[in-house]
Structure 1
Amino acid sequence: MTGTAPSCTRYVALGGSQTEGLGDGDDSTGLRGWADRLAGLLAVPHPGLQYANLAARGRLAGQVHAEQLGPALALRPDLATVVAGVNDLLRPRFDADEVAGHLDAVFAALTAQGARVATLTFPDVARVTPLARPLGPRVHALNSRIREAAGRHGVVVAETADHPAVTDPRLWSADRLPASPLGHARIAAAVAHALALPGSDGSWADPLPGPPVRPTALGELRWAAGFLGPWIGRRLRGRSSGDGRTAKRPGLLPVLPAGPVPPSGGTQGAVGGRDRSVAPW
């Protein structure tokens, strides 16, 4: 898709682990993630773009509303992305209407201030992890309410929920909760396409080359022992992976633009002046 993108000088990302960048890098070398990647893409038509990322892993929609909205408004973004709700639907007591209420309030406040806002829908986790099949109705309920709230406030929605490619295991990290680096790159490309960013298109939804490797029964048991069990243990102790975490990029900082896509399919770009490679598909 091509087009003339509205002026954008300040981009602020709100959300949880996906937006923080979990699964794309690590805590010792630094996390990247789809929002960082999107910032690099945005900086191509918007030289001088500044970017802040207020997201932190483990945050529920109510926490995003309470903790991140105020700082985001203070930064007066031209563009904001808001991605929240998955941590809520993983909890035993999930209320889709309550989650939607928080998202609606965040959408309303940002758009009322003049920001362009984008969000996305979520794939059915049962298509990634068969043991998560009971969560399917929750995902559909959450997506429905995201669309409704977005429609009320003119929020752009990247519809990533229903494309078969998004449940390819290669787009997910080993614990199947955050995306892999390739998955983060696809999310960034999907949001760029939804925003009609010049040079973006729908190829983010194309299937990956070759057949996906689906989990075996043994693989499911190993995943449950290695990742699901510890996650349940934290919930029973009232703990979260985000305890003590703060925003990795709380203030607006410059972004270097992502470079052109070379024949290999990768690009070069930087966020905050640090060179990193980008593979948008």
Structure 2
Amino acid sequence: MEIDVRFTSFAAVGDSFTEGMSDGLPDGSNRGWADLLAARLAARSPGFRYANLAVRGKLIGQIVTEQTRIAAAMGADLVTLVGGLNDVLRPKCDVEAVCARLEEAVVTLAPTCRQLVLMRSPARRGPVMERMRPRMEQLFDFIDELAVRHDALVVDLFSSEALGDSRMWADDRLHLNAEGHRRVAEAVWQALGHEPESDWNAPLPAHLPPGWLARRTADIRFAREHLVPWIGRRLANRSSGDGRPAKRPELLPYEG
């Protein structure tokens, strides 16, 4: 399929993945794949406009309620929608209900843009992912079906062995690091029909895994700094995104 690769505006919808968590900048803000993609698109289109409505911790129902209608009203040429994984990672999850809400978002967004992009999200390889694999694959299979029905693109990051490598993930084991975000931006760039600038799925160099003591030390630090606070928020029915505004709430000229 031949794709028109020139876009004049881009609206990103989603959760922490699209907000850019763990791709930190010196000023304490996060960059992420959507910002990187916007910068590359802006370089090809004078007056390019960009909005990023993503907020960390959002469930698919919140994304539908708080972001999709706003994004649809913007009328951006390009829209990306990534959501549902926060739901799937919870102990009790009705995947069919998640799929239904995701479909609401697609039905709202697809008619308002020239190109809608969906994703099979990346996952850090390990025992947690294996336990969640059936739910994730059910969600991703449905995303493939939605894309066919609504003429959307699907960027398959889930099947990437490189993006599943633990070296692509931050210490919290939930978010990609800077190199992971860079590769996602390249993957979307290529899916939109642009010439590759690098091999986003290139295998990482072989390395010796850390020893037992280093792994246990990392596990303890992860539990103390990330897992326990996450469990605390779940028990209190709170989210890391509560009260947090959208990253770029308006479709405005991109200035870097």
**TM > 0.5:** yes
Verify: 1:151 aligned to 2:140, yes or no: no
The match for 1:224 is 223
Compute the displacement of 1:66 (Å). Answer: 0.7
Q: Find the aligned partners of 1:22 and 1:34 in 2 and give their Cα distance.
A: 10
Which whole-Å deviations, capped at 9, do the CAs of 1:84-110 have from their partners, x for residues lacking one? 111111212212211111222222222
Question: Residues 108 and 92 (structure 1 numbering): CA distance in 2 closer, same or farther, change over 3 Å?
Answer: same
Give the percent of matched residue pairs that are identical in Structure 1 and Structure 2: 41
Equivalent pair of 1:58/1:241 in contact (CA under 8 Å)? yes
Deviations, residues 130-182 of structure 1 (Å, cap 9, x unaligned)? 34532222221121111111221111011111121011222111101111011
Match of 1:193 among 190, 193, 208: 190
2:203 aligned residue: 207
What is the deviation of 1:28? 5.0
1:10-58 CA deviation, whole Å, 9 max, x = no partner?
1000000011111011695321111000101212332321100000001
CA distance in 2, matches of 1:38, 1:212: 33
TM-score normalised per structure 1: 0.82
Inter-partner Cα distance in structure 1 for 2:193 and 2:149? 20
CA distance in 2, matches of 1:104, 1:200: 31
| Maintained 8 Å contact 1:19/1:34 | yes
Q: Indicate if the aligned counterparts of 2:33 and 2:181 stay in contact, CA closer than 8 A.
A: yes
Partner letter of residue 207 of structure 2? P
1:160 aligns with 2:152: no
Q: Does 1:169 align with 2:166?
A: yes
The aligned counterpart of 1:254 is 253
| Deviation of 1:221 (Å) | 4.0
Q: How many angstroms apart in 1 are the aligned matches of 2:50 and 2:133? A: 34
Q: 1:52 to 1:24 in 2, by over 3 A?
A: same
Q: Is the 8 A contact 1:81 1:117 kept in 2?
A: yes
Normalising by structure 2, we get a TM-score of 0.90
1:142 and 1:27, CA in 2 relative to 1: closer, same or farther beyond 3 A?
A: farther
Asked if the contact 2:79–2:113 (Cα under 8 Å) also holds between the matched residues in 1, the reply is no
The answer for the alignment partner of 1:16 in structure 2 is 15
Report the count of equivalent residues.
Answer: 252
Partner of 2:77: 78
Gaps of 5+ in 2: none
Equivalent position SS for 1:205:
coil
Rounded Cα–Cα distance in structure 1 between residues aligned with 2:26 and 2:245: 13
